[in-house]
Structure formats: C-alpha cells, structure tokens
Amino acid sequence: MTIHFLRGDSQAPKGHAIFIARSASDSRNVLATYCVVPPTPLSLAKYLPSFLASQLSQEDLQDATNVPVMPIPPMLEEGSTLEHLQVLADRRDDDLVDLGTINPKDDNARMQLVAQGCQEYGQYYVNYASTFPKQGYIESQQEELVPLDDLDTEELLLQTMNDRQRLAELGKLVGVARYAIEGHDTSLLQDTRKRMSNIARLMPEKYHGAELISAATDTGERGSRLAQLYLERGYKLLNEEYADIPSIERTIRELQN
C-alpha cells in the first residue's frame, strides 16, 4: 500500500499521526486511529509484573523488548468526522494520513490496514531519522533505531488480535493445511505450520495450540478430526461452556489411542 499525507510531509514525518480511512460504501463515513513511533527505544517487557513475565517465552519477551511503531487503538474506529480530525491534527501538530478505503464491517481488514499503514509510516520515520545529526545523545539513540524493512505486518496484526480472532485464524489455517496435505504441497504445508505456530505462541497454553498444529499437519485422516476437536474445545473455553469440554477431551483421547 501507499499512504497519503493530508497534513505533514512523508520526507519529514513527525513520528505521530492520525490515520484515517474512508468507508468503501460511503466516502463521508471516516474511520480513524492513531500511530506513534516512539522517539526512544520502547521496551514493554520491563513493565510486566514478574509473575506475568515468567509465563512468557523468551521469544515473546524479545518481541516486547522492542516496539518500533504502535497503533492506538490497533483497529480503525468510527465516531469522528474528517473535519474534526483535521482540526485535531492542526491543534496537536500531528501528521494526518489517509490509508484509503475500507469495509467498516470487516474487523480483520480494519486491523490489517492499520498494521500495513504503521509499517509504511514507521519506515518513513526511520528514513527521516537517519538524517538527524549524529552527536552525543542523539547519536546513541539513532544507533538503536530499528530498521523496519523486515517488519512483519502479519506479526503486527497478530499482536493486535484477541484470542477469539486468533482462534478463528487458526481455524482458517487448519483448512489450508488439510488442502496442502491432500495436494501433496510440502512448501505450502511448511508455510502454514509456521503461520499457525506464530499465532499459537501468542495464546495461553490452555488452548493446546501445539497439539492443534500437530493434528492439523498430520497426514492421516485422524489428524483432521483431532484438529476440529481442538478448535471446538477452544471455542468452548472462550464461551465459558466448561460443561461441554470433558466430552470433547474424552473423544480426543479415544482418537489418540
């Protein structure tokens, strides 16, 4: 995508911008969020309580140590007019950036467009920051700026999802994995397994993400049935329908044996 600056300059971004997108069905309907590139390295890991940090993997802690760009909130939201946002940008001296058009009823698209916009805006800022005078404190900070060329927009999107949305993505990928198995597409299966692992590591252990992935990528017919059972179990947990879980777990054990 290519973002469009309604206020500000892509060659000298301020590091904080109001993002807007227009409804595909009604251009007068505007959705918005805010994007910030921290001026100094931001580590969320240091603010985590010790009991919570101990539950995270080393990879998760590494992700929380370096936050190059942050959307607040992570999804485009309705409720403001373009005129009001223009006034806000003027008074606050924010960049005002147009991301294009969006279906306001598509939650995933509203998050993905923000993730892609943040990546592009962040890269503009990194390019601009590379021209800053490299002296004293400024030099030490510039050395710690993270290039965003390789920033994974899918990873940023996953970080903004809740567990229900992540489980839904896993369900879609189960279908892709079974398709790859039936078509003997090893490359697609490996890529799908990697994408599923990226999602599962962001979810609590109670969802049995590793077991779900193992079942989904099992070439046998049993794997397909087990994967569906793990997904069903996950939704029962989300919906707090705990009474239904023992029977699902019993069926899982029977299939495994």
- Integer Cα distance of 148 and 177 in angstroms: 30
Burial of 185 (0-12, 13-18, 19+ CB in 10 A): middle
Q: What is the pLDDT of residue 153?
A: 59
- Residue found under tokens 């301020």: 14
If we measure between CA atoms, which residue out of 87, 119, 123, 110 comes closest to residue 7? 87
Helical ranges in the chain per DSSP H: 50-53, 58-65, 82-92, 107-129, 136-143, 153-160, 163-182, 186-200, 209-216, 221-238, 245-256
Confidence band for 42, pLDDT divided at 50, 70 and 90: low
Q: What is the pLDDT of residue 163?
A: 86
Specify the pLDDT at position 96: 96
Torsion of the alpha carbons at 57, 63, 65 and 69, rounded to the nearest 10: -160
Residue 66 near residue 43 (C-beta atoms within 8 A): yes
The band of 155, judged by pLDDT with boundaries at 50, 70 and 90, is low
Percent of the residues in the chain that have a pLDDT greater than 70, as a whole number: 80
Position 22 confidence tier, pLDDT thresholds 50, 70, 90: very high
Q: Quote the pLDDT of residue 51.
A: 47
φ/ψ bin of 240: left (φ > 0), alpha (ψ from -120 to 50), beta (otherwise): left
pLDDT band at 197 (very low <50, low <70, confident <90, very high): very high
Read off the pTM: 0.52
